[in-house]
Amino acid sequence: MVPYVRTGRTLTALVLGAVLAATGCGTKPPPPAPAAPSATWAPPAATPTAGPSTVVPPARPGTLPPTLAGKDVERLPVTDKVVALTFDAGANADAVPSILATLAREHITGTFFLTGDFVTKFPEPSRSIVRAGHLVGNHSATHPSFAGLAVALIRTEVLGAAQSIAVVTGADPRPLFRFPFGSKDARALATVNALGYVAVRWTVDTTGWQGTMNGTRNATYVTTRVLQAATPGEIVLMHVGSHPTDHSTLDADALPAVITGLRERGYRFVTLATLVG
């Protein structure tokens, strides 16, 4: 992911370390995780776009599927040729209009992981994602690395993001959570599970967030990465922002060809709601 520039003492060190170690939002293999505690969640009812008075709803009765506890899911557990297109929101919203237009034209519903900072800084693009009917997940409040983060700070990040997303868009991001940079440990997994979330990683990172790499990459490069990784249950990681230096939007530019290529290979598109029924 395009690096965040933050001023907090703890978060700055964590983010910089994760960026150096990660590919995309992070591809370091997850450490073994113990079974996490049961969490309350049930599928949310449709929620209209909200004004500033909206607050995050209370926990609903229900149980997080036990098969998902302690896991950072990298692929949908299916044998059908389906793919989930997911989009992380962070540094800017430059490619949101293009991505939404492509998804609408192709009649595809995506899953967007939003940070609290993103929805606060870019309220209208955030609301447009929800208005278009796309699924929303939690990507933390300020995008720190969660590996080694204290439980209290993890809770603050997750609950703060949920609050901001609800206030700005009216959407409840539960039960989907994506760790910033893909960085986590067993404690982080257990904590987000206890808050009612299943952690969702990815099968393939397009690396479009890295930009053109001095002209050596383009939209075709992104498309090829996705198609070469095609497998039943594939979770594709893309980003909604532009590169901060070259201002490229390779993921948005590649999206039409990605969709066409996957359909030609017999795939259809689903959201991450497939994980929870």
Residue-wise pLDDT for 148-186, tens only, equals 999 999 999 999 999 999 999 999 999 999 999 999 999
Confidence of residue 25 (pLDDT cuts 50, 70, 90): low
The pLDDT assigned to 65 comes to 85
Asked if 65 and 193 touch (Cβ cutoff 8 Å), the reply is no
pLDDT tens string 28-52: 444 443 333 333 334 344 333 444 4
pTM attached to this predicted model: 0.80
* Higher pLDDT, residue 232 or 47: 232
Q: Domains in the chain, start-ordered, CATH in brackets?
A: 72-276 (3.20.20.370)
Q: How far apart are CA 273 and CA 28, in angstroms?
A: 25
Residue 59 pLDDT > 50, yes or no?
no
Share of the chain above pLDDT 90, in %: 75
pLDDT for residue 12 is more than 90: no
Q: Name the residue type at position 234.
A: E
Q: Say if residue 175 is preceded by a cis peptide, omega within 30 of 0.
A: yes
pLDDT above 70 as % of the chain: 77
Going by pLDDT thresholds of 50, 70 and 90, the confidence category of residue 63 is low
Residue of 40 and 266 predicted with greater confidence = 266
Residue pair 234/215 in contact by the 8 Å Cβ criterion: no
pLDDT category, 124, cuts 50, 70, 90?
very high
pLDDT tens for 201-218 read 999 999 999 999 999 999
64-119, pLDDT tens digit by residue?
Answer: 788 999 999 999 999 999 999 999 997 899 999 999 999 999 999 999 999 999 99
The token duo for 107 is 């009649």
Residue 22 pLDDT greater than 80, yes or no? no
Average of per-residue pLDDT values in the chain: 84
| pLDDT at residue 2 is higher than 90 | no
Integer Cα distance of 199 and 71 in angstroms: 7
